[in-house]
């Protein structure tokens, strides 16, 4: 819809309206009267379906809209206040912008502390309005700032371009050409290694590689969500007065704290010694850290099952009071898994 018809900004705006309406359903059906009347379950199911729709329209376009706000695609010389000259690399600037972007996302993730604590100490009907009001603030900012956004018109779906490119490949071109006979097809020139934006052979058509690369952060986000969901359940561990809902916030905290250190110190120092640490390399490290986090979660689960007094039969043992009495292992043993995902 964004690529073919509406553009990214309008798509985000329209689906944000859908999302606002969904949150309103959650708030109204979580009030005491609808709960008593039996309407809360239907409202919850409807809201979850609609929220999925709203989230899909927003999250699939926000990262790409942010990338379009930075319009400089060429290296340039900048004179600093110290009168020194520095080269501005667009790829490094984009990297810095996204570090700030994900820093803001993870700061927003800490809001779950407020909602879970509100639900615990007051009621669920008091927790949902927090999400509604905060989202409305973001929606207002989106509306008010419209004239300040760089908005590119729809240029056609990148998926359609991909299928057109596949359609140009004939079966005979896939067969090896004899050495004494020139090939009918030519290899495209490799992309520049300095990270500058890649353009297609026609200036009015988007580059498949450049467009699709901006969809990748959602994979990293999904990996974090999957790993968090796969972590051992605090229900089998001793909490020691630590709310189990707080544990999930270790993940954004471990992103927020090292973020400026990595962005301002680690990456620049690596570049100084000749290690550019380019996007593909960083993505590879992402999957390594994610795999290590899931492996550690499996180890923690093993520790739970080998801890007294109930081991693997926590719920079956009558002395556990239906799982209310936990195995002798501290809930904070999970922290390294969240730390790895945050990194």
Structural domain includes residue 272:
yes
User: CA-CA distance, 234 to 223, in Å (whole number)?
Assistant: 20
Structural domain includes residue 269:
yes
Q: Which of 336, 337, 224 is nearest to 287 (CA)?
A: 224
Residues 125, 26 within the same domain: yes
Give the CA-trace dihedral at 128, 129, 132, 137, to 10 degrees.
-140
Q: Which of 167, 183, 200 is the last residue of a domain?
A: 167
Beta bridge partners of 238: 330
Predicted confidence at residue 258, as pLDDT, reads: 84
Cis-peptide, bond into residue 309, ω within 30° of zero: yes
pLDDT (tens, 9 = 90+) of the chain, 343 residues, equals 898 889 999 999 999 999 999 999 999 998 988 888 888 899 889 999 988 999 999 999 998 899 889 888 888 898 988 889 888 888 888 888 998 998 898 888 888 888 888 887 888 888 889 889 989 999 999 999 999 999 988 888 878 888 888 888 866 665 555 555 444 444 444 444 344 333 333 333 333 333 333 343 444 444 334 333 445 555 577 776 666 666 677 778 778 888 888 888 999 999 899 998 888 998 999 999 999 999 999 999 898 888 887 777 766 665 555 555 677 888 888 888 888 888 8
User: CA-CA distance, 226 to 243, in Å (whole number)?
Assistant: 21
Residues 226, 329 within the same domain: yes
- What angle, 0 to 180 degrees and rounded to 10, lies between the N-to-C axes of helices 335-342 and 217-230? 180
The DSSP secondary structure of 72-97, one letter per residue, reads: --S-EEEE-TTS-EEEE-HHHHHHHH
Residues 236, 331 within the same domain: yes
Dihedral over Cα of 13, 112, 303, 327: its sign: negative
Q: Which of 167, 201, 236 is the last residue of a domain?
A: 167
Predicted confidence at residue 172, as pLDDT, reads: 65
Q: Which of 47, 22, 74 is nearest to 199 (CA)?
A: 74
Structural domain includes residue 184:
no
Structural domain includes residue 147:
yes
Residues 251, 123 within the same domain: no
Residues 16, 142 within the same domain: yes
Structural domain includes residue 220:
yes
Domain boundaries, position 259: 216-343
Predicted confidence at residue 326, as pLDDT, reads: 74
Are the C-beta atoms of residues 300 and 213 closer than 8 Å to each other? no
Are the C-beta atoms of residues 53 and 15 closer than 8 Å to each other? yes
For 149, residues 6+ apart whose C-beta sits below 8 A from its C-beta are 9, 65, 69
Q: Which of 167, 166, 169, 155 is nearest to 207 (CA)?
A: 155
Residues 142, 43 within the same domain: yes
Residues 266, 154 within the same domain: no
Residues 160, 227 within the same domain: no
Structural domain includes residue 105:
no
For 45, residues 6+ apart whose C-beta sits below 8 A from its C-beta are none
Q: Alpha helices, DSSP H only, in the chain?
A: 8-29, 32-37, 40-69, 90-109, 111-121, 124-144, 158-167, 208-213, 217-230, 250-256, 259-261, 267-272, 279-305, 335-342
Residues 281, 155 within the same domain: no
Residues 297, 158 within the same domain: no
Residues 252, 163 within the same domain: no
Count structural domains, the chain. Answer: 2
User: CA-CA distance, 127 to 123, in Å (whole number)?
Assistant: 7
Structural domain includes residue 191:
no
> 222-234 as b/e, with b when 16 or more CB fall inside 10 Å?
ebbeebbeebbeb
- What's the pLDDT tens digit per position in 27-39? 999 898 888 888 8
Q: Which of 167, 184, 199 is the last residue of a domain?
A: 167
- CA atoms within 13 Å, Cβ hemisphere of 173: 9
Predicted confidence at residue 227, as pLDDT, reads: 38
Residues 23, 154 within the same domain: yes
Q: Which of 207, 186, 205, 187 is nearest to 196 (CA)?
A: 207
User: What DSSP state is assigned to residue 198?
Assistant: P
Structural domain includes residue 230:
yes
């Amino acid at each position: 819809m964004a690529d073919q018809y509406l553009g990214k900004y309008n798509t985000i705006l329209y689906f944000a309206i859908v999302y606002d309406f969904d949150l309103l359903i959650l708030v109204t059906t979580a009030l005491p009267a609808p709960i008593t009347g039996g309407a809360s379950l239907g409202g919850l199911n409807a809201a979850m379906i609609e929220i999925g729709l709203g989230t899909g329209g927003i999250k699939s376009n926000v990262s790409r809209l942010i990338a379009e706000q930075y319009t400089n695609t060429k290296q340039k010389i900048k004179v600093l206040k110290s009168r020194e000259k520095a080269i501005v690399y667009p790829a490094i600037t984009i990297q810095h912008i996204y570090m700030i972007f994900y820093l803001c996302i993870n700061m927003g993730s800490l809001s779950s502390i407020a909602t879970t604590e509100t639900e615990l100490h007051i009621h669920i009907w008091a927790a949902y309005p927090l999400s509604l009001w905060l989202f409305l603030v973001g929606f207002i900012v989106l509306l008010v700032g419209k004239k300040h956004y760089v908005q590119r018109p729809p240029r056609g779906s990148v998926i359609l371009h991909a299928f057109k490119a596949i359609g140009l490949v004939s079966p005979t071109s896939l067969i090896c050409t004899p050495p004494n006979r020139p090939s009918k097809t030519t290899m495209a020139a490799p992309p520049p290694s300095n990270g500058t934006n890649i353009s297609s052979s026609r200036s009015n058509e988007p580059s498949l590689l450049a467009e699709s690369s901006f969809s990748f952060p959602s994979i990293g986000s999904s990996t974090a969500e999957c790993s968090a969901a796969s972590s051992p359940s605090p229900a089998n561990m001793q909490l020691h007065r630590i709310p189990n809902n707080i544990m999930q916030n270790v993940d954004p905290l471990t992103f927020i704290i090292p973020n400026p250190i990595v962005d301002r110190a680690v990456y620049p120092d690596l570049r100084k010694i000749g290690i550019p640490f380019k996007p593909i390399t960083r993505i590879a490290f992402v999957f390594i850290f994610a795999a290590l986090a899931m492996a550690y979660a499996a180890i923690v689960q093993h520790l739970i099952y080998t801890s007294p007094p109930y081991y693997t039969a926590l719920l079956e043992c009558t002395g556990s009071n239906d799982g209310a009495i936990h195995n002798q292992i501290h809930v904070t043993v999970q922290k390294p898994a969240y730390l790895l995902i945050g990194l």
